[in-house]
């Protein structure tokens, strides 16, 4: 059998007629671009959504941390008072300080040392301080033992995954019931979402003048 290579119905002609022609390409390329644009857009939205959710999570977590810290201290407090700036509070609470009180049976041998917990009352002061750091136009909370020097490390804000600011921290003391009502409002600087949590804590050791 003779194979016809060239001519009108030749094999080479058939091979040449396969593949994309310009018109097909002109339709396929915009479609591909549109598809890739859509997928890219969805990916960017997902990253944005992730960023927002992470920032909201940080906001919740910081608000909870501050609230836990205040309620924990207030529970053992004998004195609580708001400072001049109503967003700051001073808490004098019961603490056991055993650093100076250890007892040894046999000289100074470390193995025979016993920590002795003092039964005397030891009181510590904690300030939950609202403070605006130099160069920032929003407030963060600081937990410090003295309020006469600028604090350094905030307990809220300055988080890489979502910075936050304090909107308000209000404490209301009901001396007759020995109940402290706390209301904390914080906002995310990434999403501008606000969280407000309120609670109350009973303070059995509160000294009422």
Partner 1 sequence: MLNVIFLTLITSLAATILFNAAPRVHNPQSTLRLTALYLANEQFAQLESLAAAGEPLQTNFLGKPEDLITENAGKGKPTEFKVTTEVSGSNPYEVTVTVTLKEGGGNFEVKAKRTIWVAE
By CB under 8 A, name the binding residues for partner 1.
35, 39, 42-43, 45-46, 49-50, 52-53, 56-57, 60, 63-64, 67, 71, 177-179, 181, 193-202, 204
Strands (E) across the chain are located at: 77-82, 89-94, 102-104, 113-115, 123-131, 140-144, 164-174, 179-188, 194-202
Output the smallest distance, CB 151 to partner 1, in A: 26
Closer of 131 and 165 to partner 1 (Cβ): 165
Closer to partner 1 at the Cβ: 128 or 144?
128
Please provide the distance, in angstroms rounded to a whole number, between the alpha carbons at the two ends of the chain. Answer: 120
Determine the Cα–Cα distance for residues 110 and 114; give it in Å rounded to an integer.
9
> Closest separation between CB of residue 24 and partner 1, Å?
11
Which residue lies nearer to partner 1 by CB, 63 or 144? 63
What's the closest the beta carbon of residue 14 comes to partner 1, in angstroms?
Answer: 18
Residues 36, 32: Cα–Cα separation, whole Å:
6
Closest contact distance (angstroms) between CB of 164 and partner 1 is: 14
How would you list the strands of the sheet with 123-131, edge to edge?
Answer: 77-82, 89-94, 123-131, 140-144
């Amino acid at each position: 059998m003779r194979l016809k290579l060239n001519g009108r119905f030749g094999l080479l002609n058939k091979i040449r007629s396969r593949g994309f022609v310009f018109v097909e390409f002109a339709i396929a390329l915009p479609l591909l671009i549109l598809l890739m644009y859509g997928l890219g857009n969805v990916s960017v939205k997902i990253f944005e959504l992730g960023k927002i959710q992470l920032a909201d999570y940080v906001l919740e977590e910081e608000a909870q941390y501050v609230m836990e810290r205040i309620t924990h201290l207030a529970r053992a407090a004998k004195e609580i008072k708001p400072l001049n700036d109503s967003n700051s509070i001073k808490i004098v609470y019961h603490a056991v300080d055993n650093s100076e009180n250890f007892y040894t049976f046999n000289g100074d041998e470390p193995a025979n040392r016993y920590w002795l917990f003092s039964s005397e009352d030891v009181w510590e002061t904690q300030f939950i301080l609202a403070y605006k750091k130099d160069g920032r136009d929003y407030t963060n909370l600081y937990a410090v033992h003295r309020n006469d020097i600028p604090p350094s490390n905030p307990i809220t804000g300055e988080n890489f995954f979502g910075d936050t600011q304090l909107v308000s921290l209000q404490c209301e003391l009901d001396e007759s019931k020995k109940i402290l009502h706390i209301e904390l409002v914080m906002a995310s600087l990434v999403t501008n979402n606000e969280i407000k949590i309120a609670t109350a804590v009973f303070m059995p050791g509160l000294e009422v003048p």
